[in-house]
Chains A and B, each alone.
Chain A
Amino acid sequence: MHDLSLYLLDILENSVRAGATVITTTIVADRAADELSLAVEDDGPGLPVEPEQALDPFFTTKANKKTGLGLSLFRQAAEAAGGGLSVGRSQELGGVAVRAWMRLGDVDRPPLGDVAASIATMFATNPEIEFRVDLDQDGTRTSLCGPDIPARFSELTAFQEALP
């Protein structure tokens, strides 16, 4: 994966496949703290295993596969940029919570990429799911929710264009 928006798309797909009906994406960019974080939470059934096992590249919930590379690759990318990745239970929604963080200015941090395209892809092909997007750039917060997303889509593109 060459940018963070593709990792995000992969995590969103996991939530959709798990049967979530509400999925929240949170992206926080804090220049003062030199940190960028991306988080996805859902109201799906949650992890069937311990979090550490979910990060094992040879663990998957799919019957026809033997590997589950998405989360482990995301963790590797985050760690390479001085951060990490955690998987657990969403306090707000009750399903899975995935959060990756990394140094915003780290030379090894992948570019943010086209987050708007990833959100749009999942939004348009899964109309039965409520998507929420929370953005925070240096303390300036924006929240997009469900039907509001199309009308306020420009805020999402503006957020990503303001970051390297």
Chain B
Amino acid sequence: MADRITSPEQLKALAQKAKSDIDLREGRKETQVTVHMGTCGIAAGAREIVAAFMTELSANGVSSASLHQSGCAGLCEEEPMATITTADGTLYRYGLLDKSKVHTIVVNHLVGGTPVDAYLIKT
């Protein structure tokens, strides 16, 4: 279970980051992290994955990526899952996520620039 947000300051910081992400989206292309939150994703733990990405993006100082949510991607058996869209439009779909995998993805992919092949959905 992800850590709960327990203070107004924490939520305010998250909201301010999200608002700044919107500003970014109106300008140049950026990296987008989308957590899929259809019924299947929510039942599989997508809410905790959103919280994990919030924590890891902040902890690793990733300011070039914005966090979003969307509905079911049609791969329910891979939930909870997230799609990373890079500035050139390339999609990376990660499945069966947990907090540890999110940490690895943020560090290796979003910070290091190397996708984590072991967690990518093979279609």
Known: A124-B11, A125-B68. A9 touches B18 (CB 8 A): no
**Per-residue 0/1 for B1-40: is the Cβ within 8 Å of any A Cβ (1 yes, 0 no)?**
0101111110110110111011000000000000101110
A150 touches B12 (CB 8 A): yes
CB-based A-B contact count at 8 angstroms: 92
Sample of 18 further A-B pairs with CB below 8 A, known A13-B69, A125-B67 = A1-B42, A13-B42, A17-B71, A65-B74, A117-B5, A121-B37, A123-B11, A124-B11, A124-B67, A125-B68, A126-B69, A127-B18, A127-B19, A127-B21, A127-B22, A150-B9, A150-B11, A157-B4
B contacts, CB < 8 Å to A: 2, 4-9, 11-12, 14-15, 17-19, 21-22, 35, 37-39, 42-43, 47, 50-51, 54, 67-72, 74
29 CB contacts below 8 A, A to B, read: A1-B42, A6-B42, A10-B42, A13-B69, A16-B69, A17-B70, A17-B71, A69-B39, A70-B38, A116-B4, A117-B2, A117-B51, A120-B11, A120-B14, A121-B51, A123-B14, A123-B15, A124-B54, A125-B50, A125-B68, A127-B19, A128-B22, A149-B15, A150-B8, A150-B9, A150-B11, A150-B12, A151-B12, A157-B6
